[in-house]
Amino acid sequence: MTAARRAHRARIYALEAWYQFLMVLREPAFAIPTLLFPLIFYLFFGVVLGAGSFSVAAPTYMLATYSVFGVMGPSLFGFGAGLAMERDSGVLLLKRTTPMPAAAYLLAKVAMAIAFGAAVVLGIFLLGAHGAGVVLYRWQWFALAGVVLAGVIPFCALGLAVGAWSRGRAAVAITNLVFLPMAMLSGLWIPITIFPAALQDVANALPAYHQAQLALKIIDMDGGQTTLLHISVLGVQSLALLAVAAFGFRRAGTGAVSIRPGGTS
């Protein structure tokens, strides 16, 4: 491949990402909940109620967990609901008829999730630091941001699996059904140690729990399991979810979807 062709290809990826970003930014049904909900939740539960809730250190705990929540939103909705709707409306077919590589479409969505996630994370960090007096070592601020943003990998895989298996409008409902209970059961709102033992066991099966534990480890507020365990579970779950998604696309047959917008069979 010549340098010119490589540059051309990079431009395609960059443009697809940029237009994906612009598209969701102009879509209030996506942008408002994914950007504003985590910030408003953190402002209310972490900053206003914060130190008076389950612990005086709650603002610091929630700083990490609401950031995970903030990255989970765009990842799940971009892939889960977004992909299903674009497939049903025929946009996906349209893109497949262009010479653009399929990977560009997927990477654009990942980039969009990172961009939105980063905006939410920064917002929560600023609220925590200046509203709730959260102080961390500099390495902790950076490591926390990095670990939390790495959450796009398992969450996008989960979104992709949901998107592959559900139709347009149903995908929104299904994504919400995954999103909110998982956030709660994974300890993103309050620590799971407050739950009954059976519910605590459920958390061990959820990617958001392991993602949150990795984030909490940086600020010494995790539950004491090993980093290796969390990374292993997240890795295995991500691969399994990608396989589920691939199987879903094959079953639905992306080619067949293409013929009649609105149909999936």
Q: For residue 241, which amino acid is it?
A: L
CB of 111 to another protein, least distance (A): 8
**Contact between 90 and 168 (Cβ < 8 Å):** no
Whichever of 79 and 116 has its CB closer to another protein, that residue is: 116
Whichever of 200 and 254 has its CB closer to another protein, that residue is: 200
CB of 114 to another protein, least distance (A): 10
Site of interaction with another protein (CB under 8 A): 10-11, 14-15, 17-18, 51, 54-58, 60-61, 115, 118, 122, 125-126, 129, 133-138, 141-142, 145, 191, 193-194, 219-224
Chain centroid offset of residue 47 CA: 23
Whichever of 61 and 77 has its CB closer to another protein, that residue is: 61
Whichever of 56 and 231 has its CB closer to another protein, that residue is: 56
CB of 86 to another protein, least distance (A): 20
Q: What is the 3-state secondary structure (H, E, C) of 246-257?
A: HHHHHHHCHHHH
Which residue is listed with tokens 């534990």?
Answer: 213
CA distance 226 to 150: 18
CB of 53 to another protein, least distance (A): 9
Whichever of 12 and 244 has its CB closer to another protein, that residue is: 12
Q: DSSP assignment, residue 132?
A: S
Long-range pairs for 43-49: beta carbons < 8 A, 24 or more residues apart: 43/127, 43/131, 45/189, 46/124, 46/127, 46/128, 46/132, 47/127, 47/128, 47/131, 47/132
CB of 232 to another protein, least distance (A): 20
Encoding tokens for residue 11?
């431009």
